[in-house]
Amino acid sequence: AQKITQTQPGMFVQEKEAVTLDCTYDTSDQSYGLFWYKQPSSGEMIFLIYQGSYDEQNATEGRYSLNFQKARKSANLVISASQLGDSAMYFCAMREGLDSGGYNKLIFGAGTRLAVHP
Amino acid sequence: DAGVIQSPRHEVTEMGQEVTLRCKPISGHDYLFWYRQTMMRGLELLIYFNNNVPIDDSGMPEDRFSAKMPNASFSTLKIQPSEPRDSAVYFCASSSIYNDIWRTFGSGTRLTVV
């Protein structure tokens, strides 16, 4: 079974609009972490935002926020006020708990390609 | 801080040749990870080290792949012999036990085996 599912292969958004990139995950651990990375066309992986499973508030980092719904096992990335430079691949990733041995293994989803149109 | 440095950025080699990818982690980071990215399989963890010791190599696809970390500032991923299906982007990443959220990736090495 897929541990991280990103159902949107591609998304587009108008500049200055908000966009939500979906991510659902599957784990039986109580302690885990969820990450979002951006991969522009140049290829590097850029860390955007992190949410711990015990964090009660949704994580925010500038224009990025993580809509964490634990019961639904979803961790959607919201980008507000999209910019042309946001065009890139976006990956959701999960780190499982110490007990399962997955603590150091970031498991990545397949990614969503976002295109921001002027 | 120069970040995680990988070399070469691009490598084209013929099938059957040995390929060595290099990585210099961020100074002070005690974890080092090697990932492979392909269209078919996405991003996969191949192996990771803690304090220069390989901890989990269960992601290494086969015996043709080997990784070493002779010291805290250098790691190699070697493929011998290389095959066309090894064509991928290989990323190295490092992190600190004190702040593993900030797992920093290198720019990757794009390997093409012809």
Task: Please tell me if residue A81 touches chain B, with a CB cutoff of 8 Å.
Answer: no
pLDDT tens for each residue of chain B, 114 residues long: 679 999 999 999 999 999 999 999 999 999 999 999 998 889 999 999 999 999 999 999 889 999 999 999 999 999 999 999 999 999 999 998 777 677 899 999 999 999
Task: Please tell me if residue B33 touches chain A, with a CB cutoff of 8 Å.
Answer: yes
Q: What is the pLDDT of residue A98?
A: 64
Q: Which of A38-47, A81-90, B7-16 has the lowest mean pLDDT?
A: A38-47
Q: Per residue in A1-12, pLDDT tens? A: 679 999 999 999
Q: Where are the beta strands (DSSP E) in A7-111?
A: 10-14, 19-21, 24-25, 33-39, 46-52, 60-61, 64-69, 74-79, 88-95, 106-108
Q: DSSP 3-state assignment of B84?
A: helix
Of chain A, the percentage scoring pLDDT greater than 70 comes to: 94
Q: DSSP 3-state assignment of B93?
A: strand
Residues in chain B: 114
Pairing state between β A10-14 and A112-117: parallel
Q: DSSP 3-state assignment of B8?
A: coil
Q: What is the pLDDT of residue B70?
A: 97
CA–CA dist A27, A32 (Å, integer): 8
Residue of B nearest to A32 (CA): B101
Task: Please tell me if residue A34 touches chain B, with a CB cutoff of 8 Å.
Answer: no
**The pair of three-digit structure tokens given for residue A83, joined into one six-digit string:** 């910019």
- List C-alpha distances in Å: B83 to A76, B36, B45, B106: 38, 15, 19, 24
CB contact (8 A) between residue B91 and residue A45: yes
Cβ contacts below 8 Å, chain A against chain B, sum to 45
